[in-house]
Structure 1
Amino acid sequence: MTSHEGPVSTTAATAATAAPSESPERAAKRRSATRGAFFAEFVDMFDIYLPTVILTPALIYFQPAGRLDPGLAAIFTSLVFVTTLVGRPIGAAVFGALADRVGRRRSTIISVTGFGVITLLIALVPGYSTIGIASYWVLIVLRFLDGICLGGGYTGALPLAMEYSTKSRRGLLGGIILAAFPLAYVVITLVGLASFALFPLAGPDSPYAVWGWRVPFVLGALLAFVLAIYYVRSVSESEIWEAAEAAKSEGTSQGGAGRPLLAVLRSRTFLQVFGMMTGFWLTQNLVTLFLPTTVLRNLVGLSNNQLTVALLVAYVCLVGSYIAAGVIGQRIGRRRFFVIAGVLIATVGVALMAVLVNGRGLPFGLVVLVVVAFSVVVTAPWGVVLPYITERFRTDVRASGFGLGFSVSVVIPSFYAFFLEGLGALMPYATAVLVLLALGGVLGAVGAAAGPETKDVDFE
């Protein structure tokens, strides 16, 4: 089977062709690119969780004490997080096109430096007592710009790593790189716990509200600057991209998409990837956003300490499960893995969620076990998405295809709360959650089945 589909796909390699041995120089470049991609994913997710874990308790510093309507306060709180999510697809589009035109390495350096500077600026934003409600708007604008730069960081770094990987190792390396996501959650949670312990939080004038929250943001900025320096000093530009550019300039390339974004958006490949990823983003949101508060805190009744422990255990387990998923997908095929994973989400995942939504009174140890099992089952596809999406697009549009396929597909699932409300008008709320989870799993499986197998493709 081939994966050539439309103007932006790759072609399958001949099965009888033996993979060439990897030279020491190329092996060194592969390791540097993989480290860079892992670090980029880690810094990206570390920065994403800064507002929710670190900044949310200190938002009283940016609002008038006792004078902000509760509804308006909730809107402002959500805007700090939502604006970042809105900025990411924009950044993926902008920097994806840039990475396809001027190179993955250069695009990564620009975007990473950008979100390092912006994160540092956020750490310097004054509070309401200094500039009034403008402090909120400055914070929101900076988070939006931060999201744009964050969307560019992984758009260049991750395809670069895949282009240096040998065909047989893409699954393993893809799983390792994406495992930086749950690892970043564990680290930011531990940083948050340390910050809360060191800097007391008791009102808008308390040490944490005034300056304690700024320390993790400075740390996030420093991590970004270290990452940018690493790419400048240690990561080489993709040889595959350079070869494609040389062929394009010589007129020997069959690609040469002058407008990579337009070429991607017009392709059937993008529609297939978009459909599949929309399903898996929907199920992922139910794990990362819906499970902790609505299910574990409100329905199961866990205390804050119990919730923190349960999530930390689950995310530590996810680091290993992401890598395992990448290896399994390499062995049985990405398409088959996604189809199986989607079916398991719609069956086993739904059954485990049913236990949790009716789990008040269950022993805490049992709750933790169910949370771990549920998280592993529902997030399994994420150990495989990196190699799969990069394999679906040709070199001259690969960064754009990966960025759009990975980021734009998050938009519709971001409205999951509205979908739950709509379904809740037709059925019990707990049942609506199960229906939405099953729908996401089915959509992911059907989307994967609509595409070809990719694990044996050569990048072209």
Structure 2
Amino acid sequence: MGTTIEYYDFFIYGTAAALVFGTVFFPNSDPVTGTLLSLATFGVAFVARPLGGVVFGHFGDRVGRKVTLVTTLVMMGTATVAIGLIPSYATIGIAAPILLVVLRFIQGIALGGEYGGAVLMTVEHSPKGKRGFYSSWVQTGAQCGLIVANVVFLVVGALMNDAAFLSWGWRVPFWISSLLVILGLIIRLRLEESPAFESLQKAHDIAPAPVLVVLRRHKMAVLLIAGAAVGNSVTFYSATVFGLAYGSTRGFTRNEMLVVIIAAAVWVIAASILFGALSDRFGRKQIFITGNIAIAVTAYGWIRAFDTENQAVVLLAYLAMLTGYSMTWGSIGVFFAEAFDGAVRYTGLSIGFTLGVILGGAVTPLVLTKLVANTGSGMPVVLWVSASTLISALCALWVREIDPPSGRTVTSTRTRSDTPHPSIDTK
């Protein structure tokens, strides 16, 4: 639930950037330039995410997973509500886009620290043979957040005309975040700390400077994970942010594309859980690599589907490409978590993943929009997506998997009540 709320906050910005920010905050530009500028502000958060990974990774490995997750949620919610309160460019001039960039940067820092903690809280509470299944539920938080964000925009857009939507309606999804953050805080404050972290505390095995340990001993793991995460990030932001904007240039209305993306996200939720469970049986690496190859194979059909101007065909193409994406997304959390030992797992996972996200997600909507505008063709999109996923498959092949410390079901010590009586035959 907490991850859903954080991703909701993150994604309503992407939806607004694709639909209205070009007009509200960059009104003096032509439509294409305005869209490019608004997508550029969308990418600012990706630059901030590695910083969030370093800062909150440090505290997550030093202080604990729980307190870090509470902090990131409050930080994200505050920035999101504030975005909904920024006056337009027509009201305060250049200060409006400046405030937008600053608050988007804060969102990026918060999400950079969120993901690693959410994954670890689940992985480190899970039975050893079901970590992939349980961690896949955390992964679905991204899609749940995307669905809620798009549904809110869909409803708000349906209840008012375009003029009202551009004037103030787009702000409503940002204001709703305040209610969701309260719900998220109630949930996260009731969580128990990760048993793996508690074991590290009892053993006095807390790293004094996790970032330095990661940079000194785990540089290759971080770089490989970053490379492995690129394709996943490129695929997601190509399908959602770029796809939403591209569809509007190919004869589809805003609501038609929102419906397609919502339906595709529902499929990703179910498929991610399935492939997360299969990773427990067949291995994280095998599922992850296969998924990247599947994305590369289906990318051409996805972009060509827009030319049909048929909503059903576009939806089927989305489902086909995002099946491969679900294989990577459903297994990525536990796969990356198992590449680090417990004392630096939060930091290593957060830095590696956020670096991959910035390489893959920060520039993808911007670059693809510009390439299509310059060439008039969707082929650069296919090449961009396919190349990134094949590179990720290659990087994943070299990731070394380290079995993480035992979860709640297997403990390193016994309590007095767990110790069998010496007179009892325990064979």
Shorter-chain TM-score tier: 0.7 to 0.9
**Which letter maps to 1:282?**
V
Contact 1:344/1:377 (8 A) holds in 2? yes
Within the candidate set 181, 192, 195, 1:236 is matched to 192
Pairwise CA RMSD of aligned residues?
3.0
Measure how far apart 1:415 and its partner are.
3.2
CA–CA separation in structure 2 for the residues paired with 1:339 and 1:412: 19
Measure how far apart 1:322 and its partner are.
0.8
Name the counterpart of 1:274: 226
Within the candidate set 264, 289, 298, 1:339 is matched to 289
Q: Tell me: CA distance 1:257–1:185, structure 2 relative to 1, closer, same or farther (3 Å).
A: same
With normalisation by structure 2, the TM-score equals 0.84
CA–CA separation in structure 1 for the residues paired with 2:207 and 2:337: 17
**Which letter maps to 2:173?**
P
Measure how far apart 1:417 and its partner are.
6.4
Measure how far apart 1:454 and its partner are.
5.5
List per-residue Cα deviations over 1:140-197 (Å, max 9, x = no partner): 2112112212222233232122111111221111111111222222221111111122
Measure how far apart 1:55 and its partner are.
6.2
List per-residue Cα deviations over 1:228-272 (Å, max 9, x = no partner): 23222x101122112212212xxxx4xx53321222234122122
- 2:394 matches 1:446: yes
Within the candidate set 276, 281, 288, 1:326 is matched to 276
**Which letter maps to 1:51?**
Y
Measure how far apart 1:398 and its partner are.
0.9
SS in 2 for 1:165: coil
With normalisation by structure 1, the TM-score equals 0.78
Name the counterpart of 1:28: none
CA–CA separation in structure 2 for the residues paired with 1:58 and 1:214: 10
**Which letter maps to 2:186?**
I
CA–CA separation in structure 1 for the residues paired with 2:276 and 2:95: 46
Contact 1:186/1:312 (8 A) holds in 2? yes
- 2:114 matches 1:167: no
CA–CA separation in structure 1 for the residues paired with 2:179 and 2:9: 11
Name the counterpart of 1:258: 208
CA–CA separation in structure 1 for the residues paired with 2:390 and 2:147: 29
CA–CA separation in structure 1 for the residues paired with 2:238 and 2:335: 23
- 2:381 matches 1:433: yes
Measure how far apart 1:283 and its partner are.
3.2
List per-residue Cα deviations over 1:74-100 (Å, max 9, x = no partner): 454224312222222221221111111
Contact 2:124/2:406 (8 A) holds in 1? no
SS in 1 for 2:363: helix
Give the share of equivalent positions with the same residue, in percent. 27
CA–CA separation in structure 2 for the residues paired with 1:168 and 1:419: 41
Within the candidate set 79, 82, 90, 1:121 is matched to 82
Contact 1:61/1:127 (8 A) holds in 2? no
Q: Tell me: CA distance 1:191–1:279, structure 2 relative to 1, closer, same or farther (3 Å).
A: closer
Contact 2:53/2:347 (8 A) holds in 1? yes
CA–CA separation in structure 2 for the residues paired with 1:432 and 1:212: 35
The answer to which of 408-417 and 270-279 deviates more is 408-417
Name the counterpart of 2:173: 216
Contact 1:334/1:454 (8 A) holds in 2? no
- 2:331 matches 1:384: yes
- 2:6 matches 1:41: no
Query: Matches of residues 106-117 of structure 1 in structure 2 within 5 Å?
Result: 106-117=67-78
SS in 2 for 1:126: coil
CA–CA separation in structure 2 for the residues paired with 1:194 and 1:421: 27
Name the counterpart of 2:356: 409
Within the candidate set 225, 249, 260, 1:310 is matched to 260
CA–CA separation in structure 1 for the residues paired with 2:353 and 2:274: 21
- 2:346 matches 1:399: yes
Q: Tell me: CA distance 1:192–1:406, structure 2 relative to 1, closer, same or farther (3 Å).
A: same
CA–CA separation in structure 1 for the residues paired with 2:147 and 2:253: 18
List per-residue Cα deviations over 1:6-50 (Å, max 9, x = no partner): xxxxxxxxxxxxxxxxxxxxxxxxxxxxxxxxx122112101121
**Which letter maps to 1:442?**
L
CA–CA separation in structure 2 for the residues paired with 1:421 and 1:290: 7
Q: Tell me: CA distance 1:284–1:455, structure 2 relative to 1, closer, same or farther (3 Å).
A: farther
Measure how far apart 1:200 and its partner are.
3.2
Name the counterpart of 1:245: 201
Contact 1:40/1:153 (8 A) holds in 2? no
Contact 1:52/1:81 (8 A) holds in 2? yes
CA–CA separation in structure 2 for the residues paired with 1:418 and 1:83: 11
Contact 1:423/1:432 (8 A) holds in 2? yes
List per-residue Cα deviations over 1:49-74 (Å, max 9, x = no partner): 21232466554785586x45667644
**Which letter maps to 1:384?**
S
- 2:94 matches 1:133: yes
CA–CA separation in structure 2 for the residues paired with 1:74 and 1:359: 19
Name the counterpart of 2:45: 84
SS in 2 for 1:179: helix
CA–CA separation in structure 2 for the residues paired with 1:52 and 1:438: 23
The answer to which of 218-227 and 188-197 deviates more is 218-227
SS in 2 for 1:229: helix
List per-residue Cα deviations over 1:371-400 (Å, max 9, x = no partner): 211222234200011111111111111111
The answer to which of 333-342 and 301-310 deviates more is 301-310
- 2:319 matches 1:372: yes
CA–CA separation in structure 1 for the residues paired with 2:75 and 2:381: 38
SS in 1 for 2:162: coil
Q: Tell me: CA distance 1:59–1:281, structure 2 relative to 1, closer, same or farther (3 Å).
A: closer
CA–CA separation in structure 2 for the residues paired with 1:344 and 1:229: 40
Measure how far apart 1:407 and its partner are.
1.1
Measure how far apart 1:297 and its partner are.
4.3
CA–CA separation in structure 1 for the residues paired with 2:231 and 2:15: 26
The answer to which of 114-123 and 282-291 deviates more is 282-291
Name the counterpart of 2:417: none
Q: Tell me: CA distance 1:98–1:420, structure 2 relative to 1, closer, same or farther (3 Å).
A: same
CA–CA separation in structure 2 for the residues paired with 1:455 and 1:374: 31
CA–CA separation in structure 1 for the residues paired with 2:180 and 2:86: 19
